[in-house]
Amino acid sequence: MKYEKFKSHIRLKPVQILALGFAFVIFIGACLLSLPISSAAGVSTNFLDSLFTSTSAVCVTGLVTLDTGTYWSLFGQVIIMLLIEIGGLGFMSFATLIFLLLGKKITLKERLVMQEAMNSFSLQGIVKMARYILGFTFSVQAVGALLLSTQFIPDFGFKKGLFYGVFHSISGFCNAGFDLMGNFNSVTAYSGNAVVILTLSALIVIGGLGFCVWIEVYNYRMNRKLSLNSKIVLLMTAILIVGGTILMYLFEMKNPATLYGRPASEQFLSATFAAISPRTAGFNSIPLADMTLAGKFLTIVLMFIGGSSGSTAGGLKVTTTGILIIAVISVIKGREDAEIFKKRLPKELVYKAFAIFAISLILVISVTMVLSIVESQASLEYLLFEATSAYGTVGLTLGLTQQLGVVGKIIISLTMYAGRVGPMTLALALGKRGSRSVAIKYPEDKIMVG
């Protein structure tokens, strides 16, 4: 009786299960990475660095204090790859896969957690969606690995090249940004290789659009219909890619350290990749520290926006950004409601979008301020870039990550975790409250704005 009473008191909500689940996977990953077998030198790794790497992998960020390609052994790299896959798809998707393989029945509570993890509007067909997500993911990653392997095998040999293809395909699709090239160089050596750059770009975009959007795109030929959510995701993604590419080219075209002097095709590839990767993959084909100030600031903006809700990407999300823009345009036009595509957005949704934006902005500013105290040797430019990259689970850095002290590593680890779990949890928590009816309404009054 006492056990049942205790069990009833510690009953967790789905959002709490998600948060604790991510934390548990991070801890297990850190323990495995700290083992001697995980390092190339066969020595135990400092637990803080192991925890930082595990957090970065599970939160699909890509920030690393130890070079992934040279420090870790094959065992360690496989562990990191698995952590990226689990973090990108969500541990509930893998739990569902195990349940299906074992023939175990998925309970209502587990379905509710899956609904929260996938950011789905409905509980109906949630298991079927999980099957689709797993099948779609493994299929896309297999094609990506095959294409990348055609370029890596001639350079590294069959076994190593094939493994590199699989690793970078998973890292690209999950928007993680981990690479095995060594010396923190990312894919700069392949900046002129169209197959590598375009394959990684496609993987990043596909993973960042979200599974619900791809279901609707796939079924569009039959029903000729897209939801408002998918329309905004596709529109915002296209605007950010095209606009980001043009701006990045204009900002870097005269910079000899990045684009100037390269062939036109390589300039186009690098500018496009520099616009796609910050949302939120973390690969780079040009040296970030050598970019112009305008290019760095554009990268910060793209990192903050991120990808789509319900995808492998992080950040504020393109849907949230879209809602904010629609609301601002509606106010400027003097309209009472936020409207787009002949649809009206609920006021509660607009309030949530502004709340998430405000809290995300406060988080980035707060982390930057704290880092400015504990990492006082770094410039504001580097600190803001690092904080935004951690929040957006991007993984790009100007070189500050490897110089972080103990406190700095802890702060960035917590920021990566908050970026992966926090905004989603906040949105879901606000959604729960939004469904409650308010019995008392206070008298309306006005204050001055602007």
Tens of pLDDT, residue by residue over 72-117, are 999 999 999 999 988 877 644 555 555 555 555 555 555 555 554 5
Cα gap 151→162, rounded to integer Å? 10
Q: Does residue 194 sit within a domain?
A: yes
Contact 355, 426 (CB under 8 A): yes
Q: Does residue 439 sit within a domain?
A: no
The predicted structure's pLDDT at residue 86? 85
Q: Does residue 445 sit within a domain?
A: no
Q: Does residue 388 sit within a domain?
A: yes
Q: Does residue 427 sit within a domain?
A: yes
Tens of pLDDT, residue by residue over 220-251, are 777 778 888 888 889 999 999 999 999 999 99
Structure tokens at 184: 């923190």
Q: Does residue 3 sit within a domain?
A: no
With a cut of 50, say whether residue 8 has pLDDT above it.
Answer: no
Q: Does residue 440 sit within a domain?
A: no
H/E stretch holding 304: helix 293-305
Residue 267's φ and ψ, nearest 5 degrees, are -60, -45
Contact 253, 269 (CB under 8 A): no
Q: Does residue 38 sit within a domain?
A: yes
With a cut of 70, say whether residue 253 has pLDDT above it.
Answer: yes
CA atoms within 13 A on the CB side of 66: 24
Cα gap 50→34, rounded to integer Å? 6
Cα gap 425→417, rounded to integer Å? 12
Structurally, the chain folds into a number of domains equal to 1
H/E stretch holding 48: helix 47-58
**Does the model's pTM come out above 0.95?**
no
Residue-number span of the structural domain to which 242 is assigned = 10-432
DSSP code of 402?
Answer: G
Cα-atom radius of gyration of the chain, to the nearest Å? 22
- C-alpha distances out from residue 85 to 175, 234, 266, 440, Å: 10, 24, 30, 47
